[in-house]
Structure 1
Amino acid sequence: MTTHLTTDIAVGLDGVTRTYRSRAGDVHALRGVTHAFARGSFTAIMGPSGSGKSTLLQVAAGLDRPTRGEVVVGGQPLGAMNQTGLTKLRRTAMGFVFQSYNLLDALTAAENVALPARLAGRRVRRAAIVDALRQVGLEGKARRRPPELSGGQQQRVAIARALHLQPEVLFADEPTGALDRSSGRQVLELMRAVADEQRQTVVMVTHDPLSASYAHTTLFLEDGLVVGRLDRADATQIAAAMSDLERR
């Protein structure tokens, strides 16, 4: 895949297979997935339970190694990297947002945002921290600690932390799963703005058609294969496609 990559592709998967060994036999989580995530795109990944959604995200982010195939992020093939190189790339080129916020209660919002940079040994610029919090609408909450914030505000701090170092790709796994509808909408609008205005790439796993409707594209997985795609679809269209998958 390296030979066809263009500067418009943030993450590329070429024939990616992921097989897990178990006593009951091999489990094929991914079966030869090929897909390119364009720069500045927001892609939702959906599918029935066990379809390979989270495995796809983990392999694309270098958190898991494919059994076969190639993953390229920012023009760099992950298969050629050792663990140290992968860790460095994840800290500089990728941001992560999960259902659990993973904030440290003893740190302020600003200190939580700065933490990845400090762990990477990079200089922390206060102006960049303030800008990251402003981007998520929390510039007035910099000194608050997570227990003093609502769930939606905590998730926005987590997004500010992920965006602080301006990664090429933001990976999100069920980022609104623990939020109420209003807070979830704010988080989804923010991720859409990151793609539209900052030209950063967002890859989000979700089970919720309404959440997926904020994305430019929805990919559907079944049994480790990409079996469908909808572009700029609304929640009703996405829900209908999921129902078709589940009836098969």
Structure 2
Amino acid sequence: MTTTAPIHPNVHVGEPPALLLDGITKTYRSKAGAVDALRGVTYHFHRGSFTAVMGPSGSGKSTLLQCAAGLDKPTTGTVLLGGTGLHGLSEVALTKLRREQMGFVFQAYNLLPSLTVYDNVALPLRLTGKRPRRDEVHQVLDQVGLGGMARRRPAELSGGQQQRVAIARALITRPAVFFADEPTGALDSTASRQILSLLREATDRAGQTVVMVTHDPVAAAYAERVLFLSDGLVAGSLDRGTPQQIAAAMSDLER
């Protein structure tokens, strides 16, 4: 494994990274005492890159994603999204930035059951005060292979189809950074491959930056780089690893 990140081919020299974590720490305090989930993580996520974040249970990978996406505040350190510091933003400004510049896909699809597929996908635009155009909603549904299902409701779809709706909903705003937390955890292998291929296309075709937390070496192999965490620290990285190489690296961390 290596911790040296080469310049991504989609990046212009001197261009700021899509996402920068600089000295991020996160300490949770409880009656049982303090727990350090992150202990000084510094990392650049280059524009147009697809990075998988892996580590043993309790390594800090979900906390890293939450801090990077502004869903949780780091105890110390700086998060920059395209050069904008999240730490200095009000909650209103941070919410606006998340809606306009970030896309989210989680293991739970978080679709509104009372809305059609079309309206679920259009919702982020409506929340930003924009009137969604029918052609752009249908275009993103076509992109995820759901062109004929706009009028259906989530309950009428399989788990893989619901996750594709969630991806379409995240893509509709053309986010700069796309966060995915165990996006295939509840899916079978066929549906998982479809979802991971869509995330891969988001970087290859649209130049978006994808940060995906996963425990699955097969899923991680879709990424260009796997970032490994251990005990709240960056433990190394692996470029274009096979599932077997990624699994071996994880085994080394868990010893």
Q: Write out aligned runs for 1:50-69 (5 A).
A: 50-69=58-77
- Kindly indicate whether the alpha-carbon contact (under 8 Å) linking 1:42 and 1:192 is maintained by their aligned counterparts in 2: yes
- Kindly indicate whether the alpha-carbon contact (under 8 Å) linking 1:74 and 1:93 is maintained by their aligned counterparts in 2: no
Identical-residue share of aligned pairs (%): 65
Cα distance in structure 2, aligned partners of 1:21 and 1:224: 15
Look up the match of 2:27: 19
Cα distance in structure 1, aligned partners of 2:228 and 2:92: 33
Give the 3-state SS of the residue equivalent to 1:9 in structure 2: coil
Q: Give unmatched runs, 5+ long, in structure 1.
A: none
Q: Give unmatched runs, 5+ long, in structure 2.
A: 1-12
Counterpart code for 1:194: A
TM-aligned CA deviation for residue 105 of structure 1:
1.4
- Kindly indicate whether the alpha-carbon contact (under 8 Å) linking 2:16 and 2:83 is maintained by their aligned counterparts in 1: no
Look up the match of 2:6: none
Counterpart code for 1:235: P
Look up the match of 1:159: 167
Select the structure that is richer in helix.
1
Cα distance in structure 1, aligned partners of 2:145 and 2:218: 22
TM-aligned CA deviation for residue 64 of structure 1:
0.6
Cα distance in structure 2, aligned partners of 1:127 and 1:75: 32
Look up the match of 1:47: 55
Counterpart code for 2:200: R
TM-score by length of 1: 0.96
Look up the match of 2:222: 214
Look up the match of 1:186: 194
Look up the match of 1:102: 110
Look up the match of 1:121: 129
Cα distance in structure 1, aligned partners of 2:234 and 2:215: 15
Give the 3-state SS of the residue equivalent to 1:140 in structure 2: coil
Cα distance in structure 1, aligned partners of 2:109 and 2:66: 17
Look up the match of 1:237: 245
Of residues 142, 163, 172 in structure 1, which corresponds to 2:180? 172
Cα distance in structure 2, aligned partners of 1:181 and 1:207: 14
TM-aligned CA deviation for residue 8 of structure 1:
4.8
Cα distance in structure 2, aligned partners of 1:21 and 1:153: 39
